[in-house]
Structures are given as C-alpha cells and as structure tokens.
A and B are shown apart, each in its own frame.
Chain A
Amino acid sequence: MTYLSLENLSITFNTDNGPLNVLNDVSVKMDKGEFVSLIGHSGCGKSTVLNIVAGLLKASKGGVLLENREVDEPGPDRAVVFQNHSLLPWLSVYDNVRLAVDTVFKHSKSKQQRHDWTLHNLELVHMSHALDRRPDEISGGMKQRVGIARALAMEPKVLLMDEPFGALDSLTRTHMQDSLMEIQARLNNTVIMITHDVDEAVLLSDRIVMMSNGPSATVGEILHIDLPRPRHRLSLADDPKYNHYRAAVLKFLHERHAQPDVPVTTTAAEKTPRLRAVG
C-alpha cells in the first residue's frame, strides 16, 4: 500500500541562460514507516525533490500524492528538518518547539497538553537540560536536535530531512545518527532524508534512492537495505552484507556517475532565489 508517491516529478527553472531542466521524471513510491535516503552528487537536485514534497517548490510536471491526495503547498503534515536548523534566534529552545506545537495543535490540545507535548519532544532528542537557552548559546549538534524535535512535535505524516547532519563534525554526526535511529525505532515515522554520506545512508535507510547527475537528474537506482534492526554501527562494520551495500552505493556514485572534474557548483540552481519555476 503506497503511502507517499512521487510521480514523474520534473522541474525546469528559468535562468539567465535559458531554461534549466533540473529534475526529469523522478518517481519514488514509499510505504508508511519507511525510511528512504536520497543520495547523489552535489547539484543533482536532491534538495529540489525534497522541496517539492515539502510544497516549497512546485513541480513543472508530475506531482506528489500523500495518502492518495495531491499535496502542492507546504504544511505541517510534511515537517522539514532544515540543513542549517533554521531555529528562530530570538526564541529559546523551548519556545522554538512551542511555536510549532501552538500552531499545529491550536484547537486540538489544551495549553497544558501543548506544554507537555513540547517537553516530551525535547525529551525525545535529549534536550530537556537546555530549555531556556537560545540557539546561539548551544552547539551545532544541539541546534539540529531542537530542529528535529520541532519537526517531530508537528506529528508529521512524513518527516523530510535535508542533509540534517551535513554541517556537524563526524563525532557529533554519529551521535545524532544513533539518536535518530532510536527515535525512529520508537515512532516509526515515514522519512525522506537527503545525505552525502554513504555510511549514514546505509546505516539508517530501508531503501536508498541514488540519483544520477544533473541537469535532468533522475532516479538512477534504488537499493533495498535488508539489514535487521536495531542496527549497531560497530557490529555492522564487519558485516559482509553491510559492506556489500556500501560498496554498491560507492560504485554507483564514483564509477557509473562519477562527478565530472569541474568546480563544485553547490546546488546553485536550487537555492538562487531569482530562479522561478516554470508553471
């Protein structure tokens, strides 16, 4: 039973040098509770896919179905964990999450329930000790935890994560990955996560969607990760199956879709504001 369906997504941006087809015919079907990673080289349009699912961008062709209904505008049922955390710097950790809780559960929860729910979600990401701190007073990893708590607190149908740990140092990143697996084991969310990190993708995902290089990027290959959960990075390190999956992703990225030797244009097409989607 398909829960979330990305159907033939294509998007073309108008640039100063004429139209630029970033995505071409991207289709992915996901089940409820499935954890899917999107992996690919910089500039292949991973973030664009995520932004279309989030409703922040409109696809030129194709569309997104969630529980068989089309979604074409942003909403808290598809919560996003942004790469740069995007916490409001003037609000405390608690207030950042509370703002989301208050907005989403304005009518369905009482004040006390909203307070408890905020605390519960911060507890989930182990941030209860820093409720009154502001984002610039906590570390990068802690900010990302709060970002995740804020997204989880919306009780989304789909959790969208745009390179959530990309800006963190590797030690913090492993901590965060373990935390995320722990949360996922408890809540069983439907997750799409963008990543650059092969180990992260294999460790966390049920499936890895590998994308070909842009422009006109599309789904190159889909890899099922058939490893039992809970997964432990240490015991998996020597697991032949794990290493096989790892090798498969590396082969895809570095043999079949090796990045041409050009200066990396960091997903400029996705982030430049003057680009407008062709309707």
Chain B
Amino acid sequence: MNAYITATKNLLNPATLARLRGALSWQLLPKLTTAIARSLLVPLLAIALFLGLWAATAKNIQTSLGDLPGPVQVWGQAISLVQEHRTERRKADEFYARQEQRNAEKLAEDPTAEVKIRPYTGKPTFIDQIGTSLLTVATGFIIASLIAIPIGIVCGMSATLYTALNPLIQIFKPVSPLAWLPLVTMVVSALYVSDDPLFAKSFVTSAITVTLCCLWPTIINTTVGVSSVSKDLLNVSRVLRLGWFTKTMKIVLPSAIPMMFTGMRLSLGIGWMVLIAAEMLAQNPGLGKFVWDEFQNGSSNSLARIMVAVFTIGLVGFALDRGMLLLQRRVSWDKNAVLR
C-alpha cells in the first residue's frame, strides 16, 4: 500500500508531470497531428469538397423528374429506405404471428387439421436486394474460382496446354456480360428444369453470368504465377530431386499464391460490376433491379434513391475488395506485398 502511495506521489510529482507534458507536446504531438492530418483530415477535406461541388451543380441540372438530387436529398432517401425495410420486416413478422395464431386456434379446435405456413409475399426492400446481390456475386465468384484456379495451375505448368487454351481465353476475356446474358438465360431455361427448384432461375442466370466474367483474370494471373516460379527455387527442387507432386505442393503453388490472389481480387471486382448490369438487364432480383425499377417508377424521389444505390454499390464493392485483401494477408506468406 505504502509503495503504491509513493509510486502515485512520484507519478504526480510536478517535475515528472512537467516532463511528461513536455514530451507529449514537443515530441509526440506534432508527429501525431501530422499523422492524423494525413490519414483523416485530407480525405475528409476531399469528401467535403466533393459534396460541396455536387450540391452546387445538382441544383442547376433540371431533369424530367425535377432537380438532380443533392447530398441532402440522397441522405434523406437513404434513411427512408432503411425505414421502409424496418416497416416491411415488422409487417412480415406480424403476418407470421397472425398465421401462427390462426393455426394454433385451428389445432385447438381440431387436432387433425392440416396447417400451413404461407411465406410472406411482400416486395423485397432495398436491404433485401443488397443481400440477394451479395449472395449471387459470392456464388458466381466461388464457382469461377473453383474452375479457374485448377485451369490456371495446369496452364502454368504445361506450355502445350497454355498454347492450346490461350486463344480461347483471349477471345472470351473481353466479352461483355451483356452479350453472355441472353445465351445464359436461354441455356438455363432449357437445362435447369425442375418442379421444385432449389434456386430461382434468375439467380442461376445471374450467378453464371458473373462466373463467366470472373474466370479470366483468375486463370491468367494463376497461369503467370505458376509459370514464373523463380528459377533458383526450381533448381533447389532439382537438387533435392523432388517428385512432381511434392514440387507442385511445396514450391510451385505457394510461390503462385500472391498472383492467384491478385487474379481473384480482379475477378471479384469485375464480378460485382457485371452483376449489377446483369440484374438490370435481366430483371433478376438484386441491386441492379432496384435501380431499374426506380428508373421506371419515375417518382420525384427516384433519382435520389438511385443515387443511394450507386453509393451502396460503391461501398459494397470497396468492402468486398478489402475483404479479399484481409483474406490474402491471412493466407498468403507474402506479408510485404504492396496491397492497394
């Protein structure tokens, strides 16, 4: 106890305090403030400037749906979209509660009565659409990665196979998702016939379109990663006389992982862009459909709501990219890779 008091006294000793304050203000503070200014103030300033410019110009642009909305209107719509979602959820909950109550009453009257839970058929809200889009892009991206990584590995290891597949890859790579869409829709309608489908047709169509566009960057980057394993490391494997399998698992694949991730990040970015376009055109549920519906709706709020969607799409895309980055940092050995 005494020691504690002494220590506290020492700490509160005016000389110590003065030194502490001095250290804080003269050495730490300037550095800290510059760091904060760099990482926070500058971006905030740029955002404020952007919002100001937007507010100023938007007022002067007349559309058939009224003024182009400024930041304030868009923020208002964002809040109202969230509120609509809450209202809709409440309605759904009430709907299910009523049903359960009704069923319970029915069962109480007649225990053999057949009871059914009917799904709520309300219109999907903005938040629901985000969820649908995320699920679709994830499905398409995972399928694409499962196909592209093995193809990339094989192409990287066999020059012959690479020469064989390269023309196909190069031709399909630049094809826009909108060109694929009609074909995919027709093929899915023809082949995906089931009385009780696990997934909606529109979901399958969107996911496959995403897959078709996600394949190429992953294939190409994996191929490059696998084929550009350092010659010195391959010499190590020759000296050790590693077998084909060990060489692949211990040397080729690990050294290709950073490139693989680069490809997957590119793919995911492309997939997200592709998905919005596909949903818009094919009327598949998701953010794209939300944008299209609002455009067709043409109310005075539509433009602001579309802008909310635009920002959401941007933020989600950014979050997806960061997510891949975190995954890369976890999985990849190359912790020093410049990650932007």
Binding site for B on A (CB under 8 A): 54-56, 74-76, 78-80, 82, 84, 86, 88-90, 99-100, 103-104, 134, 136, 154, 273
Contact = CB atoms under 8 A, between A and B. Distances in A.
Contact of B236 (A88, A90, A134): A88
Contact of B240 (A55, A89, A90, A104): A104
Contacts of A54: 239
Q: Is the interface of A mostly helix, strand, loop or mixed?
A: loop
Given A99-B250, A134-B333, A82 B240 contact: no
A86 B240 contact: no
Nearest to A82: B232
Contacts of A74: 235, 238-239, 241
Contact of A75 (B232, B236, B241, B334): B241
A88 B233 contact: yes
B164 interface: no
A84 B232 contact: yes
Contacts of B236: 82, 86, 88
Contacts of B246: 103
Interface in B224-263: 230-233, 235-236, 238-242, 246, 250-251, 254-255, 257
B333 A89 contact: yes
Q: Is the interface of B mostly helix, strand, loop or mixed?
A: helix
Contacts of B238: 55-56, 74
Contact of A78 (B235, B239, B250, B251): B239
A103 B242 contact: yes
16 contacts: A56-B239, A74-B235, A74-B241, A75-B239, A76-B241, A80-B235, A82-B232, A86-B236, A88-B236, A89-B334, A90-B257, A100-B240, A103-B246, A104-B240, A134-B333, A273-B231
B232 A86 contact: yes
A55 B241 CA distance: 11
Nearest to B251: A88
A100 B237 CA distance: 9
Given A56-B235, A82-B235, A104-B240, A136 B250 contact: no
B104 to A, nearest CB: 60
A71 B135 CA distance: 58
Contacts of A79: 239
Contacts of A134: 333
A216 B67 CA distance: 82
Contacts of B8: none
Nearest to B336: A136
A136 B333 CA distance: 10
A193 B241 CA distance: 22
A12 B231 CA distance: 21
A30 to B, nearest CB: 19
Contacts of A104: 240
Nearest to B240: A103
Contacts of B333: 89-90, 134
Nearest to A80: B239
Interface in B112-139: none
B235 A86 contact: yes
A90 B334 CA distance: 7
Contact of A86 (B233, B257, B334, B336): B233
A103 B241 contact: yes
Nearest to B332: A90
B166 to A, nearest CB: 20
A219 B250 CA distance: 39
Given A86-B230, A89-B334, 14 more contacts: A74-B235, A74-B238, A75-B241, A76-B239, A76-B240, A80-B239, A86-B235, A86-B236, A88-B254, A89-B255, A90-B255, A99-B240, A100-B240, A104-B240
B84 to A, nearest CB: 50
Contacts of A103: 240-242, 246
Nearest to A150: B236
A78 B240 CA distance: 10
Interface in B302-340: 333-336
Nearest to A90: B333
A137 to B, nearest CB: 9
A56 B241 CA distance: 11
A93 B62 CA distance: 67
B35 to A, nearest CB: 26
Nearest to B242: A103
B329 to A, nearest CB: 14
A277 to B, nearest CB: 15
Contacts of A90: 254-255, 257, 333-334
A84 B235 CA distance: 12
Contacts of A55: 238
Interface in B55-89: none
Which of A90, A100, A134, A154 gathers most chain B CB within 10 Å? A90
3 closest A-B pairs by CB: A90-B333, A86-B232, A74-B238
A78 B236 CA distance: 11
A89 B334 CA distance: 8
A189 to B, nearest CB: 16
Nearest to A95: B250
Nearest to B239: A74
Contacts of B334: 89-90
A88 B237 CA distance: 10
Contacts of B232: 82, 84, 86
